A and B are shown apart, each in its own frame.
Chain A
Amino acid sequence: MPREAMIDEWYPVGLFSQLDQTGRRTALMGEPIDVALGADGKAKVTDGNGRALPVTVRYGHVWSSLGEPGKDLFAIPEADQPGRRLVDVGVVRVRCSPLRAVENFLDIAHFPFVHTDILGAEPHTEVQNYKVEIREDEDEVWATQVQFYQPQAAKSASGGITTEYMYRVPAPTCSILYKTCPPRPGEWDVITLFVQPLAEDLCDVWPWMALYDDETPMTDLIHFQQMIFLQDRSILENQIPALLPLDPGMEIPTRADQTSVAYRRWLKRHNYTYGAQLVAQ
């Protein structure tokens, strides 16, 4: 079973702010689940047989698992810093592997072509060397010193700047991006990608942000991020094969793809293969 090694992970299953007592029917790794607000005001998640599933509420979202999570949900210490605006972006359903959705999030080389004149623009296409590591203590993939020229790096940005990024993968279908914060040099904006695996080739993507931005209306912040993810969707639904190939040979990475290479290696090492293709076909 490809989902075996990933079954005890926490996955996002909805926005806490959107819950009501009627509940919401959704799915997790092929199993139908219900997410609802209990009479006690707490989130409740049940599977198709009415069995109560583990629940935690964090970063605006309800998290659950089909298995028995052995540890707490990963920490994002920055999320608790005072002065940040927490943005529930909502959901984008994408007909692709949850792992492909994460890999695309880790990629900067596509900015000039997919997010043209927003996150990138020709002729500024070069990806400078950056550092990638699998941090053994935390068991996370990290990419640091990632730099890219961006015409409009954020809703709050006016004019092009060279943005610095750090990427973190703390769970197989989640990633956190730390990004230069235009109004507050020295701090990092936090943009996350929480992916709910509905099936191996279907996912709900829940972006979430913790930003230093007191000016931009909430609606504009949400629209900006949704526009970016809709542009990504046009790519993600047209990759062949739909599943992420973990074995070499099917796809050709370059130096710019170091983060993706490390992510794939880390997935393979842990047998995180739900949404992956193991043998080149």
Chain B
Amino acid sequence: MLSDLMDSWIPVALSQDLPAATVMPVLAPAGPLALWRSRSGRATASADRCPHRGMRLSHGFVRGEALSCIYHGWSYSQAGTCLRIPAHPGLAPPETIRVATHPVAEAGGIIWVAVGEPAAEPPRLDGLVPLRSLTAEAELSTIEAAAGATAGPDGLVWQAPNAPAVRLLLVPQRAGETLIHVLVPDGCATSERIAASRAVESLRRTAEERQRKGSRHAA
């Protein structure tokens, strides 16, 4: 679904999973990203590599409105410019030292990262609220087959047994791996949310089992 579009928004994480002053690794078609939220609450998607010594920035730390590399503490702004090199506190880092950043949109409790230059805003998922994310060791198409439904631009609608209908946003990760964001109707009771969560876990197991059998046949 989403990855087939050249210029589109990818739902990389749920807002609730990225508290202020934290950083997490996410995978986008552009490659690995360090997704971080500044102390004031703004989310930024930076390339997950410090240009100094190649360290993953997703292992770093957030202070104030900047992301710092855990290796030598080089810090980067939301625009990607290098703000500080602690080994040389008196030096203003040259403009040329920077990390690539990707546009981020946050709406309805979902953090979207732009691929290319999408003309429109991310899809609006009215009436839905995020529940949780999980990763399945299965291809996107295997999850569709397990759910008996196909994902469109607004995700996949799945009528889980004994649970409210859920919306799944499926994001391909590394080969054979898919990130699943689960959304439920706004106003669901706690018991319904628990039922939906368990139903999606069961769907994951079914998809992973199909994937294992499929790859055994292929082998």
Contact = CB atoms under 8 A, between A and B. Distances in A.
Interface of A: 109-110, 112-114, 122, 125-127, 234-235, 238-241, 245, 250-256
B49 interface: yes
Nearest to A108: B87
B25 to A, nearest CB: 10
Contact of B73 (A113, A254, A255): A113
Given A127-B87, A254-B85, A240 B71 contact: no
B73 A235 contact: no
B164 interface: no
B59 to A, nearest CB: 6
A254 B88 contact: yes
Nearest to B85: A254
Nearest to A126: B89
Contacts of A122: 73, 86
Q: Is the interface of B mostly helix, strand, loop or mixed?
A: loop
B29 to A, nearest CB: 17
A113 B54 contact: no
A147 to B, nearest CB: 13
B203 interface: no
Contacts of A112: 73, 86
A126 B87 contact: yes
Given A113-B70, A252-B97, A238 B55 contact: yes
B56 interface: yes
Given A251-B52, A251-B54, 7 more contacts: A122-B73, A126-B87, A127-B87, A251-B51, A252-B97, A254-B88, A256-B87
User: Which of A112, A250, A254 has the most B CB atoms < 10 Å from its CB?
Assistant: A254
Nearest to B55: A239
A131 to B, nearest CB: 17
20 contacts: A109-B86, A113-B71, A113-B86, A125-B73, A125-B86, A125-B87, A126-B87, A127-B87, A234-B59, A235-B55, A235-B71, A239-B53, A240-B49, A240-B56, A245-B54, A251-B51, A251-B54, A254-B91, A255-B88, A256-B87
A113 B61 CA distance: 10
Given A234-B59, A251-B51, A113 B72 contact: yes
Interface of B: 48-49, 51-56, 59, 69-73, 85-89, 91, 97
Nearest to A244: B54
A160 B55 CA distance: 28
Contacts of A234: 59
A113 B86 CA distance: 10
Return the 8 tightest CB-CB contacts between A and B, nearest first: A125-B86, A256-B87, A109-B87, A127-B87, A239-B54, A238-B56, A240-B54, A113-B73
A77 to B, nearest CB: 32
A270 B91 CA distance: 34
Contacts of A125: 73, 86-87, 89
B59 A254 contact: no
Nearest to A260: B53
B72 A110 contact: yes
A243 B25 CA distance: 21
Nearest to B59: A238
A241 B48 CA distance: 12
B94 to A, nearest CB: 9
A251 B51 CA distance: 5
B51 A252 contact: yes
Contacts of B69: 113
B100 to A, nearest CB: 14
User: Which of B48, B51, B52, B71 has the most A CB atoms < 10 Å from its CB?
Assistant: B71
A251 B99 CA distance: 12
A104 to B, nearest CB: 9
Contacts of B54: 239-241, 245, 250-251
Contacts of B72: 109-110, 113
A235 B57 CA distance: 11
B123 to A, nearest CB: 32
B32 to A, nearest CB: 8
A195 B69 CA distance: 26
A161 B21 CA distance: 32
A61 to B, nearest CB: 28
Contacts of B52: 251-254
A112 B74 CA distance: 12
Contacts of B73: 112-113, 122, 125
B53 A126 contact: no
Nearest to A103: B53
